Every structure is written in structure tokens, then in C-alpha cells.
Amino acid sequence: MNAPARDFVGYGRTRPAFEWPGGRRIAVSVVVNYEEGGESCVLDGDAHSEELNSDVAGAVPRAGRRNLVVESHYEYGSRVGHWRILDLLQECAIPATYFAVSSALEKHPEAARSIVAAGHEVVSHGARWIDYNRVDESTEREHMIRSLEVLERLCGQRPVGWYTGRVSPNTRALAVEQGMQYDSDGYNDDLPYWTDVGGRQHLVLPYSFDCNDMRFASAPGFNTPDDFADHLRRTLACLRREGNRQSTMMSIGLHLRLAGRPGRAEALREFLMSARQFPDVWFCRRGDIADFWRNKFPAAR
């Protein structure tokens, strides 16, 4: 299998003309990444410790050794951050999509049940939160099958969406092979789009790294909760202004160990409480967007 060809044009100057349900113009997708327990750790047979997306500045992989500080930061996400973000979403009455690493949720079944009970969507974020770029196709397929089976067992329903993040050239084709209705391993548009995968039309719901709390753990990035909230406000303001001409989509990425910290969670709450008052904004799950797009703009035959 090969990676898809590049497309520098997309919709071009003429974007699709439509309105989201209820005549709204901006679909806002809140994505919560549940990765805690799926990251690289020698206890799970990995060759090195985790290095990415924690508050441990300058962390580097330790070959054959644990990084207890990084591990502890990840544990905060499942022990505390999960419940704080879950309660915040309930308070704001906002449905979310959880990008769930199956081996992470497997370590905390109560969290899996709480996500489903709250009415949120569960998308597979892979069997492990690792870089699949150099993983061979057969191993990635095995991981994908296992992830879907585990999430179906934990959550009572098989995911219809996929997001790996650190993809291989085979990831999208494998997701199609497993019957996924959409994936979010794209960052190249503000609207869903159809793409050809092995002669089949497949739906992509682009994701975002700019409206994403991972920027607290990368440079250049967000230094304070106000940096994050202000970026979210300005993004929504721009999209609402453009929404006078064309409907669009906004993705917000959260991580339990990052946005789940009190100061950041409070800034996020203030933004969500304000944004949900706008009559032209539709807060929704990614599966809702996929269903809408499939009905409004069916795949070409």
C-alpha cells in the first residue's frame, strides 16, 4: 500500500454551499484524546520511555529505562484530568468525540463506561500511542483489528471513525479495509472531503494542531491558559465572520494530562460557555458531521 497522492487544490475558490443542521454555519468538534497508558513505556515492552506531549520540558526517550516523571504526568490525565474534562463537558452540555487509544482505556474500564454513558463518541486512536511510520503493514493491521475489538468490548459499540496521528503510508487504506466510515488523519482543510482509497471513496474529517492543547507541550506554543483560550476565540471569530459567506468547521483538540489541569480547564470552560451561546454554532460529535456530510454530499460513484 502507498500513501495518497498530494492535493494542493481541494475545493478551490468555490466552497460547497450549505448550512449545518438548524441553519447553523460553524460546526465545532471538541476532541478529547485519551492516551494515558498507551504511550511508550518499557513496562509495556517498548524500547524507550515516552518523550512527547507532557509538561516535562525537554523530555527525551530513555533507551531501556523508565522516565518516572513523564509517567506520572500521564497518570494525572487518567486519574484526575479525565473526570474534570468529563464534568466540564456535561456542565457546558457539549457532546464530544474521544480519540481513544484502546490499550489506554483497557487500563481504566470505568473511564470507558463513563464516556459512553455521557453520550460522547469513541473513535479509535490505535492500539498504542506510538509512531507507526516504520511499523510494517501486517503489524499495523493487527494493532488496528485489536484496537477495534477492545473498544467494542469496553464501550459496547464498534467505532466508525479512526485517528492514528503518527501515521504510516498504509494507515488510511487499512482503516478503509476495516470498514471505517471516516478518518481524521488529515489537516488540510476546514471542511470534510472525499478521497479515493484503492478505488473507493472515503470520507476525511480534517483535524487541527493549532486549536490544540498540545501546544502547551511544544515550542513555539501556548504559555498560559489565556494564550489557548484567546486562540480559540480568535479562530471562532474568524470562522463566524466567514460563515456569513460559507459554512465551515472548527476542531478543538484536548489531552487529559494537559487541558485537564485546573488553570487550563477553567480557561477552556470560559471559552465553551461563551461559544455555546452563539446561534450560528453547532457543537457536535465527529460522527454527526460525517453522517451529515454523507447525506448532504454523497460520495461520487
The torsion defined by the Cα of 151, 154, 155 and 156, in degrees rounded to 10, comes to 100
Single-letter amino acid code for the residue at 272: L
Residue 184 falls within a domain, yes or no?
yes
Quote the CA–CA distance of 224 and 216 in Å, as a whole number: 8
Type and span of the H or E element at 193: strand 193-197
pLDDT at 1: 56
Q: How many CB atoms lie within 10 A of CB 219?
A: 8
Residue 9 falls within a domain, yes or no?
no
Task: Confirm if 162 and 124 have CB atoms less than 8 A apart.
Answer: yes
Task: Confirm if 8 and 189 have CB atoms less than 8 A apart.
Answer: no
Residue 231 falls within a domain, yes or no?
yes
Tell me, yes or no, if the pTM score tops 0.85. Answer: yes
Residue 3 falls within a domain, yes or no?
no
Residue 218 falls within a domain, yes or no?
yes
What domain count does the chain have? Answer: 1
Residue 116 falls within a domain, yes or no?
yes
CATH of the domain at 147: 3.20.20.370
Quote the CA–CA distance of 192 and 248 in Å, as a whole number: 9
Query: How many CA atoms are closer than 13 Å to the CA of 150, on its beta-carbon side?
Result: 23
pLDDT at 2: 64
The boundaries of the domain holding residue 104 are 26-38+70-296
Low-confidence stretches of the chain (pLDDT < 50) are none
Residue 227 falls within a domain, yes or no?
yes
3-state secondary structure of 41: coil
3-state secondary structure of 123: strand
Residue 20 falls within a domain, yes or no?
no
What separation, in Å, do the N-terminal and C-terminal C-alpha atoms of the chain show?
Answer: 22
